[in-house]
């Protein structure tokens, strides 16, 4: 059995009130169309066509190489959109699944069930339906006495009697390819919207004496289309809870799912604990036996095993085993932190490599630096990496000790085992094993208090 899928993704999504095409708005870390295509692939459908229109180049750029792109130059309705995919499927013979790119909750099993029912019933078309207590806004499915589908009526074209029907069209279909595109050419825009409705193909098939069937989805929540930001948030909530359940069933402890936000693309090892108000995004990978949070954000970051991170932000960085970060640390992109490293409170690190067992305990900025193993960075240390024109690197070799309140003016190097006196501003390289001190000589003025006038003392 040959299967293909056409995903309709040409609309602008006016109600989103956004310059971003609707299908590219993210849900649980991925564009909503990516969720749809993932379900299509998991359903065993290899040939995929996406119909783009509004900002089509931007949509196409987000899709994988295994997706064929068809362009709907004018958005004249769903039937017109599907007809735009004809050139991609001209030589295809089999069954074509049609669905919309704004239904990120659809599950692979639902698509499999639809295809199986369609094939077993030998129908020319099969509609996925749902029964809703409030069907407002959806096309109604009209069945004949035998239970087959007679027609689908859109909300704006429905009669008062038809509006009382609770079975609705989900916008997901399976068609025999043999009759599909020829039938689409016979559809006319004689409706309230003046568009070419894909739903009209149902009545056309019925008038030709062809069998049209319908199968109801088990969970109506799956077919929820995203039309505005309220729908987007509702879908986010569903997918987020699914992801948290998956993680917890896999051995991850999530203390409070209601205040934890983890993208579908994240991987977390067993016996890791996620504390409340934590966001884990993108392609983040976390090892086993970690403690993450509270109030922590990780994005596109790799975390080793037995790592503790609290009240901190880490972006596009790597952290080795048994290291600790925070509280209130900011790890910026392109930072690599080794094993057994201590990064303490109010430390910012940017585009730097921190060697194993080194310590940056608190109140420091490390930027564009190479820090070797077993280095101690005293409180208030700053790498002065920017001269107003270009960025320069600082190198601190193994076992060096940097005293508190030190300014390292890059480019500069501190040798292995060297010591920097507290309060120094280092502008020249410090040799291995040397003591570097660069500060003004202390001067005490005796009897200073007695010299001050009473008015000044007040």
From residue 148, alpha-carbon distances to 113, 127, 197 in Å are 18, 10, 20
- The CA dihedral of 371, 374, 380, 386, to the nearest 10 degrees, is -10
CA–CA distance, 35 with 416 (Å, rounded to integer):
52
Q: Going by C-beta distance under 8 Å and a sequence separation of 6 or more, which residues neighbour residue 190? A: none
CA–CA distance, 216 with 149 (Å, rounded to integer):
12
Binding site per annotation, positions for acetyl-CoA: 379, 385-386, 404, 422, 439
Residue written as tokens 């004809």?
86
Give the chain's length. Answer: 458
Rounded (5°) CA angle 275-276-277: 125
Region for residue 104 given its phi and psi (left: phi exceeds 0; alpha: psi -120 to 50; beta: otherwise): alpha
Please report how many Cα atoms fall inside a 13 Å half-sphere around the Cα of residue 23, on the Cβ side.
30
Q: Specify whether 362 is catalytic.
A: yes
CA–CA distance, 230 with 236 (Å, rounded to integer):
10
- E strand or H helix at 184: helix 177-184
Please check whether residue 82 is in contact with residue 8, taking contact to mean a CB–CB distance below 8 angstroms.
Answer: yes
Binding site per annotation, positions: 8-11, 22, 72, 77-78, 102, 139, 154, 169, 227, 332, 350, 365, 376, 379, 385-386, 404, 422, 439
Q: Going by C-beta distance under 8 Å and a sequence separation of 6 or more, which residues neighbour residue 136? A: 155
Please check whether residue 34 is in contact with residue 66, taking contact to mean a CB–CB distance below 8 angstroms.
Answer: no
DSSP annotation of 450 reads: H
Largest CA distance in the chain: 112
Binding site per annotation, positions for Mg(2+): 102, 227
CA–CA distance, 336 with 344 (Å, rounded to integer):
16
Binding site per annotation, positions for UDP-N-acetyl-alpha-D-glucosamine: 8-11, 22, 72, 77-78, 139, 154, 169, 227, 332, 350, 365, 376
> What phi and psi, each to the nearest 5 degrees, are found at residue 338?
-75, -160
Point out the catalytic residue in the list 35, 118, 231, 362. Answer: 362
Q: Going by C-beta distance under 8 Å and a sequence separation of 6 or more, which residues neighbour residue 57? A: none
Positions marked active-site: 362
């Amino acid at each position: 059995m040959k299967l293909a899928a056409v995903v309709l993704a040409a609309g602008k999504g006016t109600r989103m009130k956004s310059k971003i095409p609707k299908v590219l708005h993210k849900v649980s870390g991925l564009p909503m169309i990516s969720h749809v295509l993932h379900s299509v692939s998991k359903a065993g459908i290899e040939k995929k066509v996406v119909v783009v229109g509004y900002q089509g180049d931007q949509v196409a750029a987000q899709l994988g190489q295994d997706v064929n792109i068809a362009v709907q130059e004018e958005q004249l309705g769903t039937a017109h959109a599907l007809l735009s995919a004809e050139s991609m499927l001209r030589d295809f013979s089999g069954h074509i699944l049609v669905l919309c790119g704004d239904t990120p909750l659809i599950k692979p099993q639902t698509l499999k069930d639809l295809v199986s029912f369609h094939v077993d019933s030998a129908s020319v078309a099969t509609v996925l339906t749902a029964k809703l207590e409030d069907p407002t806004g959806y096309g109604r499915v009209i069945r004949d006495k035998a239970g087959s589908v007679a027609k689908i009526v859109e909300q704006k074209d429905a009669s008062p009697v038809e509006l009382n029907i609770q079975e609705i069209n989900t916008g997901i279909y399976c068609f025999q390819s043999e009759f599909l595109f020829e039938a689409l050419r016979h559809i006319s825009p004689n409706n309230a919207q003046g568009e070419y409705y894909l739903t009209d193909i149902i009545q056309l098939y019925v008038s030709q004496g062809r069998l049209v069937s319908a199968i109801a989805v088990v969970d109506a929540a799956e077919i929820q289309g995203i039309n505005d930001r309220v729908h987007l948030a509702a879908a986010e909530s569903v997918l987020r809870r699914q992801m948290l359940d998956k993680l917890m069933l896999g051995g991850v402890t999530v203390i409070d799912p209601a205040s934890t936000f983890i993208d579908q693309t994240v991987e977390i090892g067993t016996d890791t604990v996620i504390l409340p108000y934590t966001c884990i995004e993108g392609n983040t990978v976390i090892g086993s036996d970690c403690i993450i949070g509270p109030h922590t954000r990780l994005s596109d970051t790799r975390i080793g095993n037995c790592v503790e991170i609290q009240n901190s932000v880490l972006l596009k960085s790597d952290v080795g085993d048994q290291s600790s970060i925070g509280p209130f640390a900011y790890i910026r992109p392109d930072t690599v932190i080794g094993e057994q490293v201590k990064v303490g409170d109010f430390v910012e690190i940017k585009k730097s490599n921190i060697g194993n067992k080194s310590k940056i305990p608190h109140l420091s900025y490390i930027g564009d630096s190479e820090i070797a193993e077993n280095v101690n960075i005293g409180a208030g240390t700053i790498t002065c990496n920017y001269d107003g024109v270009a960025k320069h690197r600082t190198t601190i070799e193994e076992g060096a000790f940097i005293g508190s309140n030190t300014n390292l003016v890059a480019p500069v190097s501190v040798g292995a085992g060297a010591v920097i006196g507290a309060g120094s501003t280092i502008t020249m390289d410090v040799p291995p094993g040397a003591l570097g001190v660069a500060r003004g000589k202390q001067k005490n003025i005796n009897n200073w208090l007695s010299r001050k006038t009473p008015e000044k003392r007040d």
